[in-house]
Amino acid sequence: MSTYPKEILQTYTTVFGTTTKPVIVRSPGRINIIGEHTDYNEGFVLPGAIDKAAYLIVALRDDDEIHLVAQDLNEEYRTYVNDIAPTINTSWPNYILGAVAQFKKLGIALKGFNAVLQSDVPIGAGLSSSAAVECATVFALNHLYNTQLDRIAMVKMAQRAEHEYAGVMCGIMDQFASMMGKQDHLIKLDCKTLEYTYVPFKLEGMKLLLLNTNVKHSLASSAYNDRRNECSTAVAMVAKHQPNVSSLRDVSEAMLDAYVKPYDTLIDMRSRFVVQEIQRLVDACNHLNHNDIAALGSKMFATHYGLSNMYAVSCKELDWLVDHVKDNTNVIGARMMGGGFGGCTINIIKEEAIVPLLEALQPAYESAMQLPLTSYVVSIDQGTSLIETYV
């Protein structure tokens, strides 16, 4: 059974006493090994839950007050079930309140609750810290309200919480990986059908190392919309000749050669990356089923340079980090992870090489970029789970 940070229980009993019987839920952050910018093109993604998580200790009240405590921020927030609305001055309550809003839609009478939140998922690193909180809340309330929802239904509720209360129109990967994660396995998720399979991921003598650029460029949201539009344009160009095509999932490189490349080289380059990335993910799963981590690593490098050169969503800091490990024989694979223009690179590295790499890389990066380089070693862990049902 998973453990939890004991200070969260101490805070709960200090603030709320010991008369109620709370539950404690753990819900992890996530990484994505390969399959970037494929989700909104109805392709595949290959995420995994990690061993950094949000923890929520929560118990129902006899009235309809909601009393929230954020352990890490030393902040409190109070409202009532019938008064919930997105908060403006502080963002963290929205991930919890957005989940409550989904239960209100079920039309059942809801009691209020007391809750303390603590998380060791780094914020702003592209590890889906918000999805972890949303999934923890949905899972805890499903247990306490006895709504008997299955995990897929809870994934969708957590995603809607992000859409409606955080105002972020995310795909479903983040919540799916957090809720559905399995230790030592990745999830091959079909973003078109939500069908999924678990793919074994055992790193013998190797680790996943995340390197955080600590940069977030303002281009990210506008470029994201541009890429979506460029992909839609490519689909429309192909669909004039192939009416059964509804997304880049249905498009081949031969179709791009015939219907896109002769007319618009930019649209061709953007859409070709996605078509190639979907195939890379399929190949990567085959490599993993044969425990061929080296072949997976080469696919990761190919993904990075596709994202940088063809899809144009990288930045100098991400490229610097990948360029500086690509010839290191101890680094099996590396790429930028996430939407782009900042965040982390994900690296598969031999365990004994982590310290020497960081000793060389950190001062060089900080000198070149005038930014700190933050690192995290993560492993693939279980998804959302109930870790205590009483105190």
- Residue 383: what are its φ and ψ, rounded to 5°? -80, -165
pLDDT band at 168 (very low <50, low <70, confident <90, very high): confident
Identity of the amino acid at 210: L
> Which pLDDT tens digit goes with each residue over 187-241?
999 999 999 999 999 999 999 999 999 997 766 778 888 999 999 999 999 999 9
pLDDT band at 115 (very low <50, low <70, confident <90, very high): very high
- Based on the fold, state whether residues 137 and 233 are members of the same structural domain: no
- Based on the fold, state whether residues 275 and 346 are members of the same structural domain: yes
- Based on the fold, state whether residues 148 and 221 are members of the same structural domain: no
Residues contacting 338, CB < 8 A, separation 6+? 32, 36, 126, 344
- CA dist 196 and 189 (Å) reads 4
Q: What is the sign of the dihedral through the CA atoms of 37, 38, 42 and 48?
A: negative
C-alpha distances in Å from residue 389, one per residue of 17, 294, 385: 16, 43, 11
HSE-up (13 A, CA, CB side) for residue 46: 27
Burial class (CB in 10 A: 0-12, 13-18, 19+), 109: exposed
> Which pLDDT tens digit goes with each residue over 57-95?
999 999 999 999 999 999 999 999 999 999 988 899 999
- Based on the fold, state whether residues 226 and 111 are members of the same structural domain: no
Q: Are 162 and 170 in contact (CB under 8 A)?
A: yes
Q: What is the DSSP string of 141-173?
A: HHHHHT----HHHHHHHHHHHIIIII-----SH
Q: Are 340 and 172 in contact (CB under 8 A)?
A: no
Q: How crowded is residue 174: how many other Cβ atoms within 10 Å of its Cβ?
A: 29
- Based on the fold, state whether residues 119 and 165 are members of the same structural domain: yes
Percentage of the chain modeled with pLDDT above 70: 98
- Based on the fold, state whether residues 220 and 166 are members of the same structural domain: no
Q: Are 146 and 122 in contact (CB under 8 A)?
A: no
Would you say residue 61 lies in a domain?
yes
Residues contacting 216, CB < 8 A, separation 6+? 124, 341, 342, 343
Please report, for the domain that includes residue 23, its CATH number.
3.30.230.10
Would you say residue 23 lies in a domain?
yes
Would you say residue 1 lies in a domain?
no
- CA dist 215 and 212 (Å) reads 8
> Which pLDDT tens digit goes with each residue over 275-285?
999 999 999 99
196-200/47-60 β-pairing: unpaired
pLDDT at 377: 98
pLDDT band at 384 (very low <50, low <70, confident <90, very high): very high
Domain count of the fold of the chain: 2
- Based on the fold, state whether residues 164 and 248 are members of the same structural domain: no
DSSP helix/strand/coil, 309: helix
Would you say residue 10 lies in a domain?
yes
- Based on the fold, state whether residues 224 and 183 are members of the same structural domain: no
- Based on the fold, state whether residues 229 and 167 are members of the same structural domain: no
- CA dist 330 and 387 (Å) reads 37
pLDDT at 123: 85
- Based on the fold, state whether residues 143 and 215 are members of the same structural domain: no
- Based on the fold, state whether residues 79 and 23 are members of the same structural domain: yes
> Which pLDDT tens digit goes with each residue over 245-279?
999 999 999 999 999 999 999 999 999 999 999 99
- CA dist 95 and 123 (Å) reads 13
- CA dist 260 and 282 (Å) reads 24
Percentage of the chain modeled with pLDDT above 90: 88
Element counts in the chain: helices (H) and strands (E) = 11, 13
C-alpha distances in Å from residue 133, one per residue of 22, 29, 155, 181: 17, 9, 12, 15
Residues contacting 288, CB < 8 A, separation 6+? 186, 199, 200, 201, 296
Please report, for the domain that includes residue 317, its CATH number.
3.30.70.890
- Based on the fold, state whether residues 271 and 300 are members of the same structural domain: yes
Q: Domain limits at 105?
A: 6-201+381-388
* Residues annotated catalytic, as ranges: 174
pLDDT at 7: 92
Query: Averaged over 145-160, what is the pLDDT?
Result: 97
pLDDT at 390: 60
Would you say residue 339 lies in a domain?
yes
DSSP state of 305: H
Q: Is the pLDDT of residue 1 over 50?
A: no
